[in-house]
Structure formats: C-alpha cells, structure tokens
Amino acid sequence: MREQQAGWEVAMEHEKEKAILEILEQDARTTPEQIAAMLGLEVEQVRQAIRRLETAGIIRRYKTVIDWDRFGEEQVFAFIDVKVSPAREVGFDDVAERIYRFPQVHAVYLVSGDHDLRVIVSGRTMKEIAAFVAERLAPLDRVQATYTQFVLKRYKEDGEVYAEAEPDRRLVVAP
C-alpha cells in the first residue's frame, strides 16, 4: 500500500512539474507567484520545482523570441541536409558535434530519409551562408553531400506566429 501511495505522489509531482514547464515554455517571464496562482500551489513549491528542473538540466535556459525583421535587422536562415558516412562506434555523433560548434548553426538533428543530418543556420546574406557551406561544412571529414534550402518567409517559429493577418477588405452587406 505504501509503495502505491509513493508511486501516486511521484506521478502527481511529475504532473505539477509538467504544468510548470508548459507555463514557462509559453512565457519564461512568468513569475513563481503567477505560476502558483495559476496552478493552486504554494509559491515555495513552485520555486523548489523550478530549481530542481534547472539543476536536472530539464530547463536548459530562458529565451526571448525576437522578430529581427520587424526590428530592421534582416537575417537569412537555411535548412541544410547533410549526407554523412557513419563511423564505427560513434555513428553520426562526432560529425554532428563538429557541426553544432559553429556559431552560425542554430540546430542539428539526426533525421530519417535521404540525408542523415538537418542543420539550421543563419547569416546576414545568402552569400554568407553559401560560403559557410562551401568553406566550413562541406569539407568536413565524412560529409558526402549537402543540400541547402533557404527560408523565404517565416510564418511560425518557437510557437510564435509571425504572419500578419490581412485586414478584411470585403464590403459590408446590409439587409
């Protein structure tokens, strides 16, 4: 019976932490006081849970999502699919690590399909990204091929919608 009670308490704690994480994922500026009020918890419970989640590396960092285009600083993004020959004992991990260390790289994913890695990079111009691919990425050992796609328009990123709604231009019809 005690084991069942302990298991139930662990499950409840997990659900509380999940709820806290979901709130912080939507807005990292939400205070422990606000979270406590939203979830019906004690403020100190929330603070302790956040500390545990940070210490465990579950909360990796707090982030601000910025619309650089609206600020007037244009950034060019590209998806680069990379074909890699895997190495014995490490597979794709060592190549992925070399790639994610470049400051232009925002993300690296191991993917299924025709290519092995998907890399998301940014630069100030398409030429800058092309130079990165030609001079830094393609020459890496075991990189067999790259396929680059430039982002033409961003509609949604990190849960944030960037597309502006068009105003309704229809004429009002009155009876």
The model's pLDDT over 62-111, given as tens digits with 9 standing for 90+, comes to: 988 888 888 988 899 999 999 999 988 888 999 999 999 999 999 999 99
Is the pLDDT assigned to residue 167 strictly greater than 80? no
> What φ, ψ does residue 23 adopt, rounded to 5°?
-65, -45
Q: Which residues of 63-82 are buried (b: 16+ CB within 10 A; e: fewer)?
A: eeeeeeeeeeeeebbbebbb
Task: Report whether pLDDT(5) > 90.
Answer: no
Per-residue pLDDT at 152 exceeds 70 = yes
Residue with tokens 């499950």: 11
* Cα–Cα distance for residue pair 140/85, rounded to 1 Å: 11
pTM: 0.76
**pLDDT score recorded for residue 135:** 97
DSSP state of 40: T
Residue ranges of domains in the chain, CATH in brackets: 2-55 (1.10.10), 68-153 (3.30.70.920)
CA distance 130 to 124: 11
Q: Give the integer Cα–Cα distance in Å for 105 and 99.
A: 7
- CB neighbour class for 47 (10 Å; exposed up to 12, middle 13-18, buried from 19): middle
